[in-house]
Structure 1
Amino acid sequence: MALTSARMRAVNAVFETGNFSSAARRLGVSQPSIAQLVRDLEADFGVKLFDRHGHHLMATPLCRQLYATTSRLAAMEADAIGILEQREELAGGELRVGLGNSMPGMALISAFKALYPKIQVRIEIGNWSEIMAAVIDQRVDVAVLPEVPQDRRFRCEVCLSQRVVAICHPEHPLNVQGQMSITGLMQYPLVFRTRNSSTQRIVDKAFRASGLRPEPAIVVNSREGMLEAVANRLGVGFLWEHGSSRTDRIAKVVVSEMDIALPEYIFALFGTKGALVELFFNARHAMPGA
């Protein structure tokens, strides 16, 4: 038993036109072929899809229910064909991507470029607030961020899940402990991000939940500044676990109170058109570990 594409198209065409001959003309095949496809489907599943009324075929309640689903599948198939047929866009074109973290966004872009090497990708990197504004103002077509608001304006799909970790110089005493409580971090100089950072919001929340109010030794406004401060032994900082592929002079340490994986999203404004945006969403399946 199988609901093949040919059978689905035949049933939908008969449903929409009301008879085998009109359905056959629409699909460009013979009338006996259409009739056979419908009858084979009915026989395989032991169902009745149409009642004959003169020269007209009336859909049964079961057929109407089936059509409600298969018509959506047909629309998806048409969209997929449209994407494949947009040769000029896939052979060239530009996709504007906003990243709150260099990683995992760069890994996603790498997967996308491996699939579509001729597409130029223009990247805007900023803090959470800047990238959110870039999507809303349509300076970028699609973005990758954690903590995307549950807002009807956005189409969101999870790319991966990750946690915020502490980072220190590899020779820092914190590195030998493997895991640390947030209270234990208070004995070290701390490096914070500015408050419009998604990382800093997680860190602030964890300290508040533990009844702590730390005073950072250094506050930086960029991820690169955080990494350089830690690499130069200026204190213990914080980073999304996959927020950077950098491994030199940086060690990651799990903090017990922040050992919760949170989703990172691919998102765009609803209604953002174009094959490239759709293909970027789909590229998440080609990421390592997807």
Structure 2
Amino acid sequence: MSMIYSQIRAFHAVASHGSFTRAAAALSVSQPTLSSQVKALEAKYEVDLFIPAGRGIEITPLGRRLHAITQKQFRLEAEAELLLSETRSLKAGFLRIGADSPYHALPLVARYQERYPGIEISMNFGNSRDTLADLMARRIDVAIIPPPPEDDPRLISQLLIADRLVAFVPKAHKWAKQKSVNLKRLAGTRVILREEGSTTRAVFEAAVAAAGMTLKDVFEIGSREAVRAAVVEGLGVGVVSEAELIRGDNIHVLPISGADLRVPEHLVCLAECAPQRTIKAVFDLLED
């Protein structure tokens, strides 16, 4: 504790209690120690903060002005201590989450909010590439995205959910009575995909390339909702994550055969931030 802080604290206690004796008892120090700290403060700035008054003391006009400031100072100090204490116990705090899909993220967020209602949560959604960039730039605390490179020591990740890609067509489509569709047939028709940088597109294009094929025709749309709307309008065959697909009577879902199209979603954070209580608590939920 710095000397000036000790002296200010001593002054504040005397001004608040109106007595050196009561102030010393409140701070659990001896009265001579307290008196010497106040006198040192007065001597340092060549001022009088208290003057004798009968058998007691009286605060000076300057002392009253200083006391008004120290009241604010120690109130804010108490608030800061309370904030840190409550954050440690997860009664208060902040958590910023980024995800490439609300469908994977929101169930976890709901569990977290139920267990820690005092934690304020903000969420951003974007494609997996942008979400990872936000994490690396510390614009978010945790990310829900496909697994990052295993050899990156800056990151810690844990499996959240294992999803898969599916195709879907409008009910009037010629494939609407099929139970599934082969990857080769799918690559030979117009497919509707999210923008580059999305997990769906990366996984699907990688599977097509691994099978030694190329896509015949890609209709790119920037959101999963728009992909569904385009399929309903007959603009092509949609490919999306199964968990993200909004089902309905106007579409038919087709599992894709002939390729491994699993899409694991991981909870990811920076390794150096993993010990933070608000972040660690998210990962702990996956162990429950």
Provide the C-alpha distance between the structure 2 equivalents of 1:107 and 1:258, rounded to a whole number of angstroms.
Answer: 29
Provide the C-alpha distance between the structure 2 equivalents of 1:192 and 1:94, rounded to a whole number of angstroms.
Answer: 35
2:160 is paired with a residue whose SS is strand
Q: 1:160 corresponds to which residue?
A: 161
**Structure number with bigger Rg:** 2
1:247 is paired with a residue whose SS is coil
Pairs within 5 Å for 1:171-250: 171-186=172-187, 188-242=189-243, 244=244, 246-248=246-248, 249-250=250-251
1:283 is paired with a residue whose SS is helix
Q: 2:272 corresponds to which residue?
A: 271
1:279 is paired with a residue whose SS is helix
Distance 1:254 1:275, change over 3 A: same
- State whether residues 190 and 235 of structure 1, in contact with CA within 8 Å, keep that contact through their aligned partners in structure 2: yes
Q: 2:105 corresponds to which residue?
A: 105
* 1:24-57 deviation line (CA, Å, top 9, x unaligned): xxxxxxxxxxxxxxxxxxxxxxxxxxxxxxxxxx
The alpha carbon displacement at 1:280 in A equals: 1.1
Identical-residue share of aligned pairs (%): 24
List alignment gaps of at least 5 residues for structure 1: 1-84
The one-letter amino acid paired with 2:102 is S
Provide the C-alpha distance between the structure 1 equivalents of 2:123 and 2:171, rounded to a whole number of angstroms.
Answer: 31
Pairs within 5 Å for 1:1-290: 86-88=85-87, 90-150=90-150, 151-186=152-187, 188-242=189-243, 244=244, 246-248=246-248, 249-272=250-273, 273-285=275-287
TM-score by structure 2 length? 0.63
The alpha carbon displacement at 1:235 in A equals: 1.4
The alpha carbon displacement at 1:198 in A equals: 1.7
- State whether residues 194 and 221 of structure 1, in contact with CA within 8 Å, keep that contact through their aligned partners in structure 2: yes
Provide the C-alpha distance between the structure 2 equivalents of 1:154 and 1:204, rounded to a whole number of angstroms.
Answer: 26
Provide the C-alpha distance between the structure 2 equivalents of 1:115 and 1:86, rounded to a whole number of angstroms.
Answer: 18
Q: 2:27 corresponds to which residue?
A: none
The alpha carbon displacement at 1:270 in A equals: 0.6
- State whether residues 193 and 240 of structure 2, in contact with CA within 8 Å, keep that contact through their aligned partners in structure 1: no
Q: 1:46 corresponds to which residue?
A: none
- State whether residues 181 and 256 of structure 2, in contact with CA within 8 Å, keep that contact through their aligned partners in structure 1: yes
TM-score by structure 1 length? 0.62
- State whether residues 241 and 263 of structure 2, in contact with CA within 8 Å, keep that contact through their aligned partners in structure 1: no
The alpha carbon displacement at 1:167 in A equals: 2.6
The alpha carbon displacement at 1:213 in A equals: 2.0
The alpha carbon displacement at 1:239 in A equals: 1.3
Distance 1:115 1:212, change over 3 A: same
Distance 1:258 1:115, change over 3 A: farther
Question: Pairwise CA RMSD of aligned residues?
Answer: 2.4
The alpha carbon displacement at 1:277 in A equals: 0.7
2:117 is paired with a residue whose SS is coil
